[in-house]
Amino acid sequence: STYDYTSPSSVNLASTYGDDVTVGTINNSPDGVQIYRVDSAPNVTTPPAGLDQLSQSHYFGVFVVGGSSPTYTLTYNYEGHPGISNEDNLELVSRSNNATASWTDLNATLDTGANTLIKTGQTGTQYILGSASDNLLPVNLSSFYAIYIGGTPTLYWTTQSEENNDYWNVYRGTNQNFETAAQINAEPVPGNGTTNNASDYIYVDTVPVVQNTTYWYWIEDVSTDGETEVHEPITLSIPYEDTPVTPENYGLHQNYPNPFNPSTSISFTLAEDSEVELIIYNIKGEKVRSIYNSFVYAEQVETVVWDGNDKNGKQVSSGVYYYKLITETKEYQRKMLLVK
C-alpha cells in the first residue's frame, strides 16, 4: 500500500505487473488517502452482467480519511496487466470494501491510447479489472525459479489462479531464444483446471546438463481449449562439481513430490554449520511431528523423507501441512499438500 496524510493532491500505487492506480483531482480536503493492493483473486469473483470475467491476479482499494464528503478521480492504467489481448473489452468494476456482494460495472471511460480506465466522483471503494471476453489469460503465474541440488536442476513455480489449465510443458535452451529451446518433459505436467487457490508445481530436469553452463528454462501452460502461453524464462547456472553451493540455493527447498501420497522428500542447505530441527505442522499450527534434529555442516545438501505419519506413528489425513526448518540463527517455512 501507499498513502499521503499531508493534504493529498495525488496518490499512485503500481503493481508488480506494471499496471497501477492513481487517485487524483481530490476534492473537499480529506486528511489522507491510502491505496492498497491485494495480490490474489477476491473472495467474490462473479462478474457483473455484461462481463465474462474478473482479474484473478490482483485488485486495488482506496481509503479516504476526513474531509467534507471528499471525492476523487480514479485512473486505472492497465498496461502491464497479464493476459490483455483485446483492450476494447475492458471495464473497471467496483464494490464496497470487503463486501460479499457481486461487483458493479462503473462504466468508466476507456482510453486505449493511454491504456487507462477513468472514473470521476469516487468516494472510496475496491476496484478490479473486468472483461467481456478475450482477456485475462488462464494462468496467473506468481513465481518461477530453479535450483541446482544433488547434481540435478529442479524447477519450482506457483500460480495464484488458473482457468481451464490442462497441463504444462517445460523447455530448456542454452540461450534466451525460445525458438532454439527443446521440450524436456516426456509427459505433460498436469495443471489444476480452474481454481482461485494458489497451486505449487515442481519439475525435476533429468536431461543431462553440462558443468559451468547457464541454461534458460521456459514453462508453457496449455488450456483445455488448446490455447497456449509461454511464460518469461528463468536462468540456472550449473557449477563445476567442486564449486561451492551458491547463496541463492541456501535455505529450505520445496518438498518433492508435491502434492504427495504417502511420503515426500524435503531438502535444505545451510550457509553455515548449525544445529537444526525440521518440524511438521498442520494447517491449525499444531505440531504434528519433528522429523529431523541434528547438527548439519555448511553447504551440505540434506534430504529428509517424511512418511506422512504423526508423532504416534499414525497416518495423517489429507490436507495442507507446513514444514519449518529451525537453525541457530534463522527459521524457514514452506507448505505442502497431502492428497489421498
**Residue 166 φ/ψ, nearest 5 degrees:** -80, -55
Are residues 20 and 12 in contact, defined by beta-carbon separation less than 8 angstroms?
Answer: yes
- Who contacts 147 (Cβ-Cβ below 8 Å, separation ≥6)? 153, 154, 156, 236, 248, 249, 253
Amino acid 98: pLDDT: 63
pLDDT at 249: 66
The answer to whether 148 and 95 have CB atoms below 8 angstroms apart is no
Q: Which three cell numbers stand for residue 110?
A: 476507456
* Tens of pLDDT, residue by residue, the chain (340 residues): 899 998 889 999 987 667 899 999 999 999 999 999 987 778 787 888 888 888 877 889 999 999 889 999 999 999 888 777 788 999 999 998 766 668 999 999 999 999 999 999 999 899 999 988 766 545 677 778 888 766 788 888 888 677 788 999 999 999 999 999 999 999 999 998 887 677 888 898 989 888 889 999 999 999 888 888 888 888 988 876 544 445 556 788 888 777 787 888 888 888 889 999 999 998 778 899 999 999 998 877 788 889 999 999 999 987 788 999 999 988 898 888 887 6
pLDDT digits (tens, 9 = 90+) for 252-300: 888 877 778 788 888 888 888 999 999 999 877 889 999 999 999 887 7
* Cβ-contact 265, 304 below 8 angstroms: yes
